[in-house]
Amino acid sequence: MNTNDNTPSEQRGFHELALNIYTRQEHNISRKQISDNALKVLYRLNGAGFDAFLVGGGVRDILLGSQPKDFDIATNATPEQIKNLFRNCRLIGRRFRLAHIMFGRDIIEVATFRGHHQEPSKNVSAQSDEGMLLRDNVYGNVDEDAERRDFTINAMYYNIADYSIHDYAGGVEDLEDKLIRLIGDPETRYREDPVRMLRAMRFAAKLDFDIEEDTADPIEELAHLLKDIPAARLYEESLKLLQSGHGLETYHLMREYNLFQQMFPAVAEHFTEGYDSHTEQMLDLVLDSTDLRIDDGKRVNPAFMFAAILWYPMNKLADKLVAEQGMAHYDAIMEASNIILDQQVKSIAIPRRHTATIREIWQLQVRLPRRNGKRAVRLMELNKFRAGYDFLEMRGEIEGGETKELAKWWERYQTAGRNMRQAMANDVAAPSKSGHRRRKTYRNKKSKQSE
């Protein structure tokens, strides 16, 4: 039996929440809509005497009539007690300990009820000078856990014991009114975790909801707090924001509240009042394309998206290096790529495997025009040719002119027969040597040094 009462810790100034309980007859959630693995976890926790609730997005999405992708569970069992109940359990997290119950590739996340913050001396909770939570392993009861949730629509709990819904913050009403509303004082909650500002954008775009006025008001002023978030965490958040199927709408919301500018500072330098720079056109184009691919069930590559977002800032810098330092075009592209990516990973820690692909896509933009003789065949054999070609097509839509004609040439070349390909390549004039990469000079220098 459960002997874990998790006595409430000292209150911290949240407004008092009003609990509304909706009985099984008063809501539309059925166990048929909950995954078998989630039900197994709920029933085992409940059978061992612990409280067990389906929480967050799972409850929200079912109430909205859509099928959840994930099922998260909250309980008064501690992580260690959960691990003792499930042999297929793995404990993760430092900022807040979580239990992952593994069913093959399916993972059910179980969290212990969170309580209010205690004194730092107890070594379970810590905050930065800005008020941001650095460590948060404070356990409490379900009432406290509800107050610690970010938005009202995420503070609804489906109780497996009697199939009721416990609504602590008016989430059902906000679902009906299509509102994103923070629980507690918005500025305090954003300072605790600035990523909540990004979550507000994501939910508003995903659900087509409005952001409640008090929830929205502090965001633009506090947007700079995102710079205090680890770049690795912001990378993960960027994928949720821009590759969730609603990336275009999310980007425009983020930009309106000065959030996108914090995450992509090099891109923001090219923003215009008319939203009509090449950088802005590419953002709309690549994010719309990404949304369509996700809607069609196709895979999306983060590297391609980041390559598109950063291309024009990088290319503008390369042009500047050519004009001011007299660099060859290819060398300028290489140097500008290093500068832009080094700057970007300080904000969003794009993994090396993706930055390598980004560089390949960018380099192909320089190589694809050089297609005479056997070069075209060799280019098509490259691993990233298709990504480079798709990117060239996008550039053609924006730039028109020679870039669009080049994309059309490559489209015809890919579908042409062998003889036609050879004829097409032979018709292309040989490139001038001025833009060549200086491999020969480098080799000559090496050979002279070894003599």
> Of 51, 61, 72, 193, which is the active-site residue?
72
On the 0-12 / 13-18 / 19+ scale of CB atoms within 10 A, 357 is buried
How far lies 270's CA from each of 227, 273, 444, in Å?
A: 20, 10, 41
Categorise residue 111: left if φ over 0, alpha if ψ from -120 to 50, beta otherwise: beta
CA atoms within 13 A on the CB side of 276: 2
Q: Which of 61, 150, 174, 291 is catalytic?
A: 150
Backbone angles phi, psi at 207, to 5 degrees: -95, -5
Phi, psi of 303, deg, nearest 5: -60, -40
106 catalytic? Reply is no
> Which residue, 353, 348, 344, is CA-closest to 235?
348
DSSP assignment string, 201-213: HHHHHHHT-EEPH
CB-CB contact of 333 with 318 (8 Å)? yes
- Distances from the Cα of 93 to the Cα of 90, 99, 135, 184, 300, angstroms: 10, 9, 10, 25, 27
Q: Which of 304, 132, 98 has the alpha carbon at shortest distance from 226?
A: 132
311 contacts: CB under 8 Å, gap ≥ 6: 282, 362, 365, 391, 395
| DSSP character string of 247-297 | HHHHHHHHHHTT-HHHH-HHHHTT--TTS-SHHHHHHHHHHHHHHHHHHTT
291 is catalytic: no
Enter the tokens of residue 161: 């014991």
Residue with the two structure tokens 């200086």? 438
Written as six digits, the tokens of 428 are 């292309």
Looking up tokens 């489209």 gives 411
Question: Which SS3 state, helix, strand or coil, does residue 307 take?
Answer: helix
Is residue 70 part of the annotated active site? The answer reads yes
**Residues with catalytic annotation?**
70, 72, 150
